[in-house]
Amino acid sequence: MSDYLKMSREELAEEFKSVRHEYEHLRGLHLSLDMSRGKPGFDNMDLSGEMFDLVGNDTGFKNISGIDCRNYGGLDGLTELKTLFGKILGLQPDQIIVGGNSSLNMMFDTIAQAMTHGMGGEPWCKQDGLKFICPVPGYDRHFAVTEYFGFELIPVRMTPEGPDMNAVEELVKDSKVKGIWCVPKYSNPEGITYSDEVVRRMARLKPAAGDFRIFWDNAYVVHDLYDEGDRLLNIYDECLKAGNPDMPLIFASTSKITFPGAGVAVEAGSPNNVAMLKDRMKYQTIGPDKLNQLRHARMFRTVDDVKRHMKRHAAILRPKFESVISELVKQLSDTGIAKWTNPRGGYFISLDVLEGCAKRVEQLCANAGMILTPAGATYPYGNDPLDSNLRIAPSYPSVEEIKKASVVLCIAVRYAALEKLIAEKA
Amino acid sequence: MSDYLKMSREELAEEFKSVRHEYEHLRGLHLSLDMSRGKPGFDNMDLSGEMFDLVGNDTGFKNISGIDCRNYGGLDGLTELKTLFGKILGLQPDQIIVGGNSSLNMMFDTIAQAMTHGMGGEPWCKQDGLKFICPVPGYDRHFAVTEYFGFELIPVRMTPEGPDMNAVEELVKDSKVKGIWCVPKYSNPEGITYSDEVVRRMARLKPAAGDFRIFWDNAYVVHDLYDEGDRLLNIYDECLKAGNPDMPLIFASTSKITFPGAGVAVEAGSPNNVAMLKDRMKYQTIGPDKLNQLRHARMFRTVDDVKRHMKRHAAILRPKFESVISELVKQLSDTGIAKWTNPRGGYFISLDVLEGCAKRVEQLCANAGMILTPAGATYPYGNDPLDSNLRIAPSYPSVEEIKKASVVLCIAVRYAALEKLIAEKA
């Protein structure tokens, strides 16, 4: 492709004519496509169909400790799942709390607890002007939790190695800064895995707030698209070495391993943190759904079981990601109007278009029957100051749909860029 | 039996000799019995075994609205369960939020939300000296939630018709009083169902606090032991008539219909309250486990399905309750040292022993291998000022075990009473 930024006004007008023609053609197809949310597809969910046969009258309801999983009892989950997640996350089983179907819920509850009961210090709701660090682009539902609780959300830009640690190190000198949201492996939306250097600097932070916490949402810990997955340093080990064992709170879930709505979520951390969380949870709940935990425990007896399962997911997801990337390359390479990531795992691709064009691309796509995650969603308060970032979620539609959607997306990106460039030259 | 309170010192000593002999005999049997928690028995849980065959690869995963219950989406539960619970609770489907596996969790979360975001007014955590009304004897885990959040717990005595409404009406004149815990049908532990008069006075309360809420935990709404169940007036209708539609928050669950650890919980209320709760929940969670909801929806298609199922539960539970009552009658009638309730539903029997004797009875039972709910647990802070109330939970052990446990219990009650009466006459 030619570099749009070097085109004359006439060349731009010519290109726009052709792009507009193509766009109108696509619009005429009355497509109905959706790349807005990170939802697994039917075929992904079908991979876990056997789970329904693993707990029933024929199989019994007892876990390896002999607990009848139908009844009350057990606050922190089945022992075999603590062992399994411990191995996956590089932690001891007793550092793991296995919860219900939503790790977001565990993050929310942890912050809610800190609001009313503190995080080892004064309750956060008794303090004013609290702040939370939000690497951008990032996950809208993380940001929304801290927005709900009244934090000022401080964006920090992502680098190809993770959050800009110079900025983070500077920000934590402010005792009002209470935490940071991290998706350290295959980040949402860029698919970036934090480098060893970033993890180490994170672990060595010396925050002014003694109750500062790293919310380490390892949502895609086993979600590799290729045989060779990204490698992420163990944040707990690094924090322990740095004398900060209580700083990280680590989360994971099977939402994208088994079922988004009926998976099993995990929160983990230092013995201190786990004891504090359990002491609070005992007031909150009768305990998690142990039958659903038992289904998971019987399906995944070893980490190898999980890995095998994730390879089957990858076989379904990889062509979807590659379809998007290949269309981006085909239509947008060397145009100078778009940059994107090429993740080796996770659920998203991040696309940066010309400044001021993201909302327009979203609108053009919508008019052609294709729903994108709202532009801006990857920034605190839904406000991308450059109006440039778009999150592409290729997991839910079929490969055929993805291919069509990618064509629409790229045409829309070119359309919006040409509009802008032509207006600038007018 | 003779009236212990009218016995001479010699008669007491003679009786004590015989009771102690019997107690030592029981102790020698090395029993291991547990009547401490309201856990359903195996046979009760087995009644819901068919549920595991109702959701799987053969049956599909879509509810009546066509939602694939495996995936993300849906904050307030499946529409068919909203309809079902609406009928059970006498509410419209859109007044119902169907949640996860714990109604206690929904109560906790609602109060947590009020702490940080208020209940229509100033956040509760910004206010000092807040109070909560706790009918006694009552449910320890209710009291614990409000204790956790720092409320002063104000006990109000239960009458045979429900909480002493004179006291409640007086207390709500204090704007620091923010709510009351109620188990209005087959109350925990007494098995009392609130009279129409009590429900109407509750609905007509004019609390000084505009954000006062009745936590109406209708935990035993369909949990009759006999064909003719107790009748409870509809709190929402009464509140509506009284101009207090937003005052009640109504809870229920299937914990003792299907599975204690894997049931479905419900929170309900006025349109205002439901809108407020949903607006807060959207930050907290990805939504409930819809597959478990689907299992419930397919098992209980009508209220009649639920009623038939509850009759099967009752057939198992009734002999257990009757075994306890019959031993209480046999050993303690007319002794003047014990009073008990004779519930027609629910999960508990309440036993009042001589003042100052409840802890001793608990201890004597424990020494003979029988675990009771800790004496005092039915009072705020675990402190029964009269040391008189014991909660008997006959659901979990077998009828054979219940019979043995009841003998131990009654002997322990007589033992402790005789110790006290003899000491008083010394």
- Residues B251-279 pLDDT 10s: 999 999 999 999 999 999 999 999 999 99
Find which of A71, A127, A149 to mutate to test the B interface (most B CBs within 10 Å of its CB): A71
- In the sheet that holds A248-253, the strands lie side by side as A96-98, A265-268, A248-253, A213-217, A177-182, A131-136, A152-159, A162-163
The H or E element containing residue A411 is: helix A399-425
Contact A181, A135 (CB under 8 A): yes
Q: Where are the beta strands (DSSP E) in B82-151?
A: 96-98, 131-136
**Collapsing DSSP states into helix, strand and coil, what is residue B368?**
coil
Please report, to the nearest 10 degrees, the dihedral formed by the alpha carbons of residues B305, B308, B310, B311 taken in order. 180
Any chain A CB within 8 A of the CB of B47? no
Any chain B CB within 8 A of the CB of A262? yes
pLDDT (mean) for B68-76:
95
Any chain A CB within 8 A of the CB of B310? no
- Put simply, whether the predicted model's pTM sits higher than 0.90 gets the answer yes
Task: Tell which residue, B169, B171, B229, B174, has the closest CA to residue B198.
Answer: B169
Based on its alpha-carbon atoms, the radius of gyration of chain A, rounded to whole angstroms, reads: 23
Fold of A63-301: Aspartate Aminotransferase; domain 2 (3.40.640)
Q: Beta-carbon neighbour count of residue B75 at 10 Å?
A: 17
Interface subset of A 189-248, CB within 8 angstroms of B? none
Any chain A CB within 8 A of the CB of B60? no
Hey, what amino acid is at A384?
D
Contact A12, A418 (CB under 8 A): yes
- Residues B381-403 pLDDT 10s: 999 999 999 999 999 999 999 99
The distance in angstroms from the start CA to the end CA of chain A is 23
Q: Decide if B285 and A104 are in contact by the 8 Å CB cutoff.
A: yes
- pLDDT bin (cut points 50, 70, 90) of residue A399 is very high
Q: Give me the residue spans of the domains in chain B.
A: 4-44+307-425, 63-301
Question: What is the C-alpha to C-alpha distance for residues B43 and B50, in angstroms, rounded to an integer?
Answer: 13
Of residues B2 and B303, which shows the higher confidence score?
B303
The distance in angstroms from the start CA to the end CA of chain B is 23
pLDDT (mean) for A88-109:
98
Residue A426's pLDDT is 81
Find which of B254, B286, B373 to mutate to test the A interface (most A CBs within 10 Å of its CB): B286
Chain A hits for B280, CB-CB cut-off 8 Å, are: 148
- pLDDT bin (cut points 50, 70, 90) of residue A297 is very high
Domain covering B4-44+307-425 assigned CATH 3.40.30.10 in the classification: no
Chain B hits for A49, CB-CB cut-off 8 Å, are: 56-57
Among chain B residues, CA nearest to A110? B284
CB-nearest to A102 from B104, B125, B285 is: B285
- Residues A158-214 pLDDT 10s: 999 999 999 999 999 999 999 999 999 999 999 999 999 999 999 999 999 999 999
Chain B hits for A102, CB-CB cut-off 8 Å, are: 285-287
- Residues A44-86 pLDDT 10s: 999 999 999 999 999 999 999 999 999 999 999 999 999 999 9
Any chain B CB within 8 A of the CB of A108? yes
Question: What is the C-alpha to C-alpha distance for residues A112 and B112, in angstroms, rounded to an integer?
Answer: 7
Instruction: Report ipTM (2 d.p.).
Output: 0.96
Chain A hits for B279, CB-CB cut-off 8 Å, are: none
Contact A413, A352 (CB under 8 A): no
User: Is the predicted pLDDT of residue B295 greater than 90, yes or no?
Assistant: yes
User: Is the predicted pLDDT of residue A1 greater than 80, yes or no?
Assistant: no
- pLDDT bin (cut points 50, 70, 90) of residue B1 is confident
Chain A hits for B373, CB-CB cut-off 8 Å, are: none
Please report, to the nearest 10 degrees, the dihedral formed by the alpha carbons of residues B149, B153, B157, B163 taken in order. -40
Q: Decide if A69 and B260 are in contact by the 8 Å CB cutoff.
A: no
CB-nearest to B284 from A37, A42, A105 is: A105
Q: Decide if B39 and A72 are in contact by the 8 Å CB cutoff.
A: yes
Residue A38's pLDDT is 92
Among chain A residues, CA nearest to B291? A262
Q: Beta-carbon neighbour count of residue B126 at 10 Å?
A: 12
Residue A76's pLDDT is 97
Contact A380, A374 (CB under 8 A): no
Question: What is the C-alpha to C-alpha distance for residues A185 and A345, in angstroms, rounded to an integer?
Answer: 8
Any chain B CB within 8 A of the CB of A47? no
Any chain A CB within 8 A of the CB of B170? no
Question: What is the C-alpha to C-alpha distance for residues B17 and B20, in angstroms, rounded to an integer?
Answer: 5
Question: What is the C-alpha to C-alpha distance for residues B376 and A379, in angstroms, rounded to an integer?
Answer: 52
Closest Cα in chain A, distance from residue B337 (Å): 34
User: Is the predicted pLDDT of residue A302 greater than 90, yes or no?
Assistant: yes
How does the average pLDDT of chain A come out, rounded? 97
CB-nearest to A144 from B147, B255, B283 is: B283
User: Is the predicted pLDDT of residue B236 greater than 90, yes or no?
Assistant: yes
Any chain A CB within 8 A of the CB of B41? no
Chain B hits for A100, CB-CB cut-off 8 Å, are: 100-101, 289
Q: Decide if B71 and A259 are in contact by the 8 Å CB cutoff.
A: yes
Residue A204's pLDDT is 98
Please report, to the nearest 10 degrees, the dihedral formed by the alpha carbons of residues A85, A88, A94, A97 taken in order. -40
